[in-house]
Amino acid sequence: MKSQLERLPAVSRRRFMQTAAVGAAGVMGSLTGPQASLAHDDDAPRDRAVPPQPIPGGVAPQFHVWPAGDPSVTLPFSGASLMGFDVDPSTITDFHGFSATAFHAGTAVGSDGAAYNLETDLRVYKGTYVAADGRRRAASFAFI
């Protein structure tokens, strides 16, 4: 008698990546909602998006990101280590809300037959923040 896992059809890496891309696009669309801008409040015009201030520092001057997680974990392809559990997973200054982070690592085979290493850092945020114009705003963001 075969186990349930042995009876399930295999999912190709291509199908997995296509499904993940469609899912990420769906999440991004559902987080932003029908508003005309990503960042809004009731007093601001709906046609103007105001970006948040990035957190200070990060893994590089242009990347204001701290990879939160167990410091004993080393990502297999880049060799980067996670920075600890007391690191802010958000990339937004003065942010109050929900954030989720996922790291993925694996390999993919291209249509030319070549193998590619893959590492991702996916983050989503929903909450309030102080925007670049100094006003408190509510928004949802995705970092891919």
| E strands in 45-135 | 96-109, 115-130
The helix or strand, by DSSP H or E, that contains position 137, with its residue range, turns out to be strand 136-143
Query: What was the pLDDT predicted at 126?
Result: 92
Query: What was the pLDDT predicted at 30?
Result: 47
**Per the domain annotation, does 2 fall within a domain?**
no
Total domain count for the chain? 1
Mind listing the pLDDT tens digit for each residue in 91-144?
888 889 998 888 888 888 889 989 888 888 888 889 998 888 888 988 888 887
**Per the domain annotation, does 4 fall within a domain?**
no
Mind listing the pLDDT tens digit for each residue in 39-87?
444 554 554 677 788 888 777 667 778 888 888 988 888 888 888 888 8
**Per the domain annotation, does 6 fall within a domain?**
no
**Per the domain annotation, does 28 fall within a domain?**
yes
Residues 6+ apart with CB under 8 A from 35: 46
- The 3-class secondary structure across 5-66, one letter per residue, is HHHCCCCCHHHHHHHHHHHHHHHHHHHHCCCCCCEECCCCCCCCCCCECECCCCCECCECCC
Query: What was the pLDDT predicted at 97?
Result: 92
Q: Which domain holds residue 65?
A: 11-143
Task: State both tokens at 128.
Answer: 């309030």
**Per the domain annotation, does 97 fall within a domain?**
yes
Query: What was the pLDDT predicted at 40?
Result: 47
**Per the domain annotation, does 5 fall within a domain?**
no
**Per the domain annotation, does 137 fall within a domain?**
yes
